[in-house]
A and B are shown apart, each in its own frame.
Chain A
Amino acid sequence: MATDAPLLELTDVRKHYAVSGGPLGLKTVGAVRAVDGLSFSVRAGETLSIVGESGCGKTTTARLILKLEEPTAGAISFEGRRLDTLDAAGLRHFRGSVQAVFQDPWSSLNPRMTVGRIIAEPMIVQARLSRQDRQDRVAELMTQVGLRREQAELYPHQFSGGQRQRIAIARALSVDPKLIVLDEPVSALDVSIRAQILNLLKDLQDRLGLSYVMIAHHLATVRHMSHHVAVMYLGQLVEIAPGRELFRRPLHPYTQALYSAALSTHVGRPLSEPALKGEIPSPLNPPSGCRFHPRCPHALAECSASEPALVEIEPGRRVQDCSCVRRLISAAAK
């Protein structure tokens, strides 16, 4: 169902947070470069997943897309309109079109509101529908996500984690969004509940033509859910590709490390310890050149000298253009 014009487009987006220090903490001593030059797009009906290790900037990216934060530089467009130039009506349309479901189903729902009210909230904010129509819509949404309509009178603490995530999904759906940002939607759930929620998300996408930006750690889940996968390292994309291509042939050394660290559920596959040195450096002082070079098993002297650009090597596939990736590609071509 994907059309060619992107629904969401990020162009060289940056988000830097000032870090204060010095006596009394009054001096700005540096900046955390949480997101540092991201460009990608998402089309209607598609899922783009973002993977990468803790602190690489995934949640910050999600918050920027949701316009909960303003980028330090760069542009984010939704349906071709830049978010920083939206007027009040444009902003209202945007808020109705883009919704979010966060990781923690325990803290993301207001404990003092009934579930019916929680689900209706975005419609109230958007001043959509009459009171009675809203109630009908809540009942319809609850059925859609596998809850019973009578449960609308209950409070969040009366539900299990999986049910709360269904509530969050119903709430996100209430205003007929085009895009839902999912920040680790199943990480906090039990194994036997995860498949329920993932199936629900896929069904809704098929039925409603939704787009998802999903943040997730579990690579097998990512592969199952995504059309495209973006791999982030220290605020930047190192590789972005159609999901199957990425997993069939990870090109960037960091993608390879992530892939080899992902444990298959096939017995007897040896534990392949990624040949990485050390741990992720601080985004306060990212390494020069290729940000991955201090940990990269293939790093050469030149890797610390210049920052590699993200280049398109196949349609829909971009990878940071470092010497070892070039070597890999030319070796594969032979």
Chain B
Amino acid sequence: MSSAPVLKVEGLVTELRSGGGSVRAVDDVSFEINAGETLGLVGESGSGKSMTCLSILRLIPSSVGRVTGGRVVLEGTDLMTLDEAQMRHHRGRRISIILQDPMTSLNPVLRIGDQVGEAIKLYRGLEGPALRDAIVDGLRAMRIPAPEQRVSAYPHELSGGMRQRVGAAIAMAGPPAVLIADEPTTALDATVQSQLLALLKDVQRETGLAILFVTHDFGIVATICDRVAVMYAGRIVELAPVAELFANPRHPYTEALLRSVPDLDVDVERLYSIEGQPPALDDLPAGCSFAPRCAYARDVCRERGPPRIEAGPLHHASCWKLAGYGD
């Protein structure tokens, strides 16, 4: 397991068309992921998690918006400088994605074997019997039972969990160095979810895959992530090793969020709750986006964006409170 980051995202900015102007769905996002590591990306719906993923893969349709700043360095190559043909060479092969709803990424009229085969043929150049073997191996590696028979099934004939495994088989066809998993288990039942998580962790152990795991479930974060980035209104407000984040959250949003989630083994009379709701991107407050809901907000928070504070090894948070409110 090397410690050089396989994926390095620096100052990523994505602007979306909105009304006559534009909004920043991803605003100065930076992080790195090492081989064999899982970085969790948590945040509420609309906070920009999926836009971050699509931006990294350069999959934002031009009708929706575009990446306007930053670098995405995959194994030493800045993806943002590639032309579309070069980008296609990397996408899927070295960096791939699985989505929440595998039905949207699978073709409903093609047999799953052909879909997995298409990816393997494209990325590994296999043909004929070697390709057929690789398809069955790929499905088996994702623990799809009876893969020899399943190759001829259509997506609708499979359960949600099995479809997600087919999606994973396609995503692993490269095989990639980085896997982006955008809430891949949100639509799955609990027992099926933990089976898929265990599968991903096993694949990671065997291949040294780096994983960006998007979720809003702190249970998943606590269980499978090494480090966590917390996103709020398009920005990463805190990033820390997982144990550190749970034990010592520094950003008021992270702290409040962790306190508001009931735990399976701890009884509390009343849950802590964050009043108000996340802001709309086209109506962001000046200063810190969390200020209208923050129990610690002071005038400076409503005026100027908070500075990024190093809170410990590999731990940073952007908040005026941590900076002594600028005094």
Given the known interface contacts A220-B261, A220-B263, A279-B159, the answer about A271 and B191 at a Cβ–Cβ threshold of 8 Å is no
Using Cβ atoms and an 8 Å threshold, which residues of chain B touch A247?
A: 264
Contact between chains at A192 and B44 (CB < 8 Å): yes
A24-32, A67-75, A257-265, A305-313: which lies at the interface: A257-265
Q: Provide the bound-state CA to CA distance between A261 and B220, in Å.
A: 10
Contact between chains at B260 and A265 (CB < 8 Å): no
Given the known interface contacts A191-B216, A278-B145, the answer about A220 and B201 at a Cβ–Cβ threshold of 8 Å is no
Contact between chains at B194 and A223 (CB < 8 Å): no
Q: Does A195 interact with chain B (Cβ within 8 Å)? A: yes
Using Cβ atoms and an 8 Å threshold, which residues of chain A touch B193?
A: 261
Which of A162, A221, A268 is B277 in contact with, Cβ under 8 Å? A162
The interface bits of chain B over 251-281 (1 if a CB of A lies within 8 angstroms of the residue's CB, else 0) are 0000011101111110110111111011000
Contact between chains at A53 and B189 (CB < 8 Å): yes
Contact between chains at A263 and B217 (CB < 8 Å): yes
Q: Which residue of A lies closest to B241 (CB)?
A: A267
Q: Does B77 interact with chain A (Cβ within 8 Å)? A: no
Using Cβ atoms and an 8 Å threshold, which residues of chain A touch B152?
A: none
Contact between chains at A53 and B201 (CB < 8 Å): no
Which of A217, A221, A267, A271 is B201 in contact with, Cβ under 8 Å? A271
Given the known interface contacts A192-B260, A195-B273, A221-B262, the answer about A263 and B195 at a Cβ–Cβ threshold of 8 Å is no
Q: Does B45 interact with chain A (Cβ within 8 Å)? A: yes
Contact between chains at A271 and B262 (CB < 8 Å): no
Q: Provide the bound-state CA to CA distance between A195 and B258, in Å.
A: 11
Q: Provide the bound-state CA to CA distance between A198 and B274, in Å.
A: 12
Q: Provide the bound-state CA to CA distance between A199 and B272, in Å.
A: 9
Q: Shortest distance in angstroms between B216's beta carbon and chain A's nearest beta carbon?
A: 5
Q: Shortest distance in angstroms between B241's beta carbon and chain A's nearest beta carbon?
A: 9
Q: Shortest distance in angstroms between B159's beta carbon and chain A's nearest beta carbon?
A: 5
Q: Shortest distance in angstroms between A120's beta carbon and chain B's nearest beta carbon?
A: 25
Given the known interface contacts A53-B190, A271-B198, A273-B195, the answer about A223 and B264 at a Cβ–Cβ threshold of 8 Å is yes
Q: Does A122 interact with chain B (Cβ within 8 Å)? A: no
The interface bits of chain A over 300-325 (1 if a CB of B lies within 8 angstroms of the residue's CB, else 0) are 00000000000000000000000000
Q: Provide the bound-state CA to CA distance between A275 and B311, in Å.
A: 40
Contact between chains at B222 and A267 (CB < 8 Å): yes
Q: Does B76 interact with chain A (Cβ within 8 Å)? A: no
Q: Which residue of A lies closest to B217 (CB)?
A: A263
Given the known interface contacts A219-B264, A220-B262, the answer about A271 and B257 at a Cβ–Cβ threshold of 8 Å is no
Using Cβ atoms and an 8 Å threshold, which residues of chain A touch B267?
A: 223-224, 244
Using Cβ atoms and an 8 Å threshold, which residues of chain A touch B190?
A: 53, 217, 219, 258, 261-262
Given the known interface contacts A190-B278, A192-B257, A199-B273, the answer about A266 and B263 at a Cβ–Cβ threshold of 8 Å is yes
The interface bits of chain B over 22-61 (1 if a CB of A lies within 8 angstroms of the residue's CB, else 0) are 0000000000000000000000110000000000000000
Using Cβ atoms and an 8 Å threshold, which residues of chain B touch A202?
A: 270
Q: Provide the bound-state CA to CA distance between A121 and B26, in Å.
A: 42
Using Cβ atoms and an 8 Å threshold, which residues of chain B touch A268?
A: 222, 243
Contact between chains at A261 and B271 (CB < 8 Å): no
Using Cβ atoms and an 8 Å threshold, which residues of chain A touch B246?
A: 265-267
- From 130 to 154 in chain B, residues with beta carbon under 8 angstroms from any chain A beta carbon are 145
Q: Provide the bound-state CA to CA distance between A162 and B45, in Å.
A: 12
Which of A163, A193, A224, A280 is B262 in contact with, Cβ under 8 Å? A224
Using Cβ atoms and an 8 Å threshold, which residues of chain B touch A271?
A: 194, 197-198, 201, 223-224
Contact between chains at A265 and B261 (CB < 8 Å): yes
Q: Provide the bound-state CA to CA distance between A258 and B191, in Å.
A: 6
- From 185 to 211 in chain A, residues with beta carbon under 8 angstroms from any chain B beta carbon are 190-196, 198-199, 202
Contact between chains at A265 and B242 (CB < 8 Å): no
Q: Does A54 interact with chain B (Cβ within 8 Å)? A: yes
Q: Provide the bound-state CA to CA distance between A193 and B276, in Å.
A: 8
Using Cβ atoms and an 8 Å threshold, which residues of chain A touch B265?
A: 264, 266
Which of A196, A198, A264, A274 is B222 in contact with, Cβ under 8 Å? A264
Which of A199, A261, A265 is B191 in contact with, Cβ under 8 Å? A261
Q: Does A272 interact with chain B (Cβ within 8 Å)? A: yes
Q: Which residue of A lies closest to B224 (CB)?
A: A271
Residue among B198, B257, B270, B273 with max Cβ neighbours from chain A (10 Å): B273
Q: Which residue of A lies closest to B277 (CB)?
A: A160
Q: Which residue of B lies closest to A266 (CB)?
A: B222
Using Cβ atoms and an 8 Å threshold, which residues of chain A touch B268?
A: 224
Contact between chains at B189 and A54 (CB < 8 Å): yes
Q: Does A269 interact with chain B (Cβ within 8 Å)? A: yes
Using Cβ atoms and an 8 Å threshold, which residues of chain A touch B264?
A: 219-220, 223, 247, 262, 264-265
Q: Does A276 interact with chain B (Cβ within 8 Å)? A: yes
- From 187 to 241 in chain B, residues with beta carbon under 8 angstroms from any chain A beta carbon are 189-195, 197-198, 201, 216-224
Q: Which residue of B lies closest to A160 (CB)?
A: B277
Q: Provide the bound-state CA to CA distance between A202 and B222, in Å.
A: 27
Q: Provide the bound-state CA to CA distance between A261 and B264, in Å.
A: 11
Q: Which residue of A lies closest to B273 (CB)?
A: A195
Using Cβ atoms and an 8 Å threshold, which residues of chain B touch A199?
A: 270-271, 273
Contact between chains at A279 and B194 (CB < 8 Å): no
Q: Provide the bound-state CA to CA distance between A38 and B258, in Å.
A: 37
Q: Which 10 A-B pairs have the closest CB atoms?
A: A263-B219, A195-B273, A195-B260, A53-B189, A273-B198, A195-B271, A261-B190, A190-B44, A224-B262, A220-B262
Interface residues of A (CB under 8 A from B): 53-54, 160, 162-163, 190-196, 198-199, 202, 217-221, 223-224, 244, 247, 257-258, 260-269, 271-274, 276, 278-280
18 contacts between A and B (CB under 8 A): A190-B44, A191-B257, A192-B277, A195-B260, A218-B262, A220-B219, A224-B268, A224-B271, A264-B219, A265-B222, A265-B246, A265-B263, A269-B223, A271-B201, A272-B194, A273-B194, A274-B194, A279-B159
